[in-house]
Amino acid sequence: MLVDETKCVACGNCIDYCPMNAISLTAECAAVDQAECVECGVCLRSECCPTGALYRPELNYPRDIACFFSDPEATHPSTDVPGRGTEEMKTNEVTGRFPPGMAAIAIELGRPGIGTRFTDVEKVARAMAEFGVEFEPQNPVTALMIDKRAGTLPDDLKPVKVLSAIVEFGAPLEKVPAILQRLKEVEGELETVFSLDLAARVPEDGSLPFAGLELPYPLSINGKTNVGLGKPRFRE
């Protein structure tokens, strides 16, 4: 996002609308810190500017990537999904992607107020790739990877900041404790926050998946019953 200096009257209305604190003000004009702006579009959509001084120029790579991950009205071209560009498997797992014995893991990096750079996204992806995980193909972070087995991202993308990005993958249940332990080791290197989603089918005996395992994160049990909405294609 940019400010047209010829239109800005330095009223300061836009300052509090920015979830990344990317807008600053002098006596003459507002300015957007391009390193902190994630192109979420909140300032524009709120119509907070009385003079129309805020505007979004044409975005080219890699800045357009920030918009795809941060603006809920932008649709990610790799997945055709708006917002963060993925139908997270934690809430939409009706496709049978994870048969018995497999876990779905999503690591959601960044939040309004802090965001995340792809440097941190790659740190997490590379650490998870050490376990030979299968990154979710319908996920825009996966689509950006230059090596999907190693979890690496393009160098010119790494400094780009986005509101939030999700690393998603599937892994055998027995690998989950070691994978989460590795995530625990990496978390101290991250300059952002993340939330961790862990999903699996409830076994036929009704026992809770993951209960009784030694995990480095506390479990918060949430159940979801697939009642046939969506397009269930369960595999046996």
Residue 114 · residue 192 · CB < 8 Å:
yes
Of residues 16, 35, 47, 51, which one binds ligand SF4 by CB under 6 A? 51
DSSP annotation of 202: P
**116-117 and 161-162 as β-strands: parallel, antiparallel, unpaired?**
antiparallel
CB nearer ligand SF4, residue 19 or residue 100: 19
**75-76 and 81-82 as β-strands: parallel, antiparallel, unpaired?**
antiparallel
Q: What is the C-alpha to C-alpha distance for residues 184 and 188, in angstroms, rounded to an integer?
A: 8
Of residues 24, 27, 39, 226, which one binds ligand SF4 by CB under 6 A? 39
* Amino acid letter for position 135: F
CB nearer ligand SF4, residue 23 or residue 129: 23
- Closest approach, Cβ 6 to ligand SF4, in A, equals 11
- Closest approach, Cβ 167 to ligand SF4, in A, equals 22
**Residue 162 interacting with ligand SF4 (CB under 6 A):** no
- The pattern of x and - marking residues 54 through 73 that bind ligand SF4 according to CB under 6 A reads x-------------------
- The pattern of x and - marking residues 9 through 38 that bind ligand SF4 according to CB under 6 A reads xxxxxx--xx-x-xx-x----x-x----xx
- Closest approach, Cβ 69 to ligand SF4, in A, equals 12
Beta strands in the chain, from DSSP E residues, in sequence order: 2-3, 23-25, 30-32, 54-55, 75-76, 81-82, 102-109, 116-117, 134-135, 161-162, 165-172, 194-199
**Residue 49 interacting with ligand SF4 (CB under 6 A):** yes
Of residues 24, 31, 41, 154, which one binds ligand SF4 by CB under 6 A? 41
* Amino acid letter for position 26: T
- Closest approach, Cβ 76 to ligand SF4, in A, equals 17
**116-117 and 75-76 as β-strands: parallel, antiparallel, unpaired?**
unpaired
**Which residue(s) pair with 195 in the sheet?**
108
Residue numbers at the binding site for ligand SF4 (CB under 6 A): 1, 3, 8-14, 17-18, 20, 22-23, 25, 30, 32, 37-43, 48-49, 51, 53-54
